[in-house]
Amino acid sequence: MLVELSITPLTGNSHISDEIAGILDIIDEADVPYQLTPAGTCLEDEWDEVMPVIRQCHEQAREYAPHVITALKIEDEDGAANQLEENISSVEEKLA
């Protein structure tokens, strides 16, 4: 399962890289494969592995701000593996 996670702590400050780094520490420590992007983070693992990490990330954001927006996009395909790399490789092959 591939989950695109975007968390926005509404702090009143337009620069939230410190807060995002604190949230990313949770993902990094969880030992879940992930890829940081400019607008979010993609995580890849089973449902029961990913969802507790997402909850921890949301709760961490609540430590920074009284108002948090958390958005998820889930790609769940039978038999799919290594989607963090395969999805990008597939598009790049078609571009070449």
Confidence of residue 1 (pLDDT cuts 50, 70, 90): very high
54 pLDDT more than 90 = yes
* pTM for the model: 0.88
Confidence of residue 57 (pLDDT cuts 50, 70, 90): very high
Task: Identify the burial level of 45 via C-beta atoms within 10 angstroms of its C-beta, where 0-12 means exposed, 13-18 middle and 19 or more buried.
Answer: middle
Contact 68, 10 (CB under 8 A): yes
Q: Which residue range(s) make up the domain with 74?
A: 2-95
In whole angstroms, give the CA distance from residue 42 to residue 30.
Answer: 14
In whole angstroms, give the CA distance from residue 45 to residue 3.
Answer: 8
Residue 91 or 14, more confident: 91
Structural domains of the chain, count: 1
Q: Please give the pLDDT value at position 96.
A: 78
Q: What CATH number is attached to the domain comprising 14?
A: 3.30.70.930
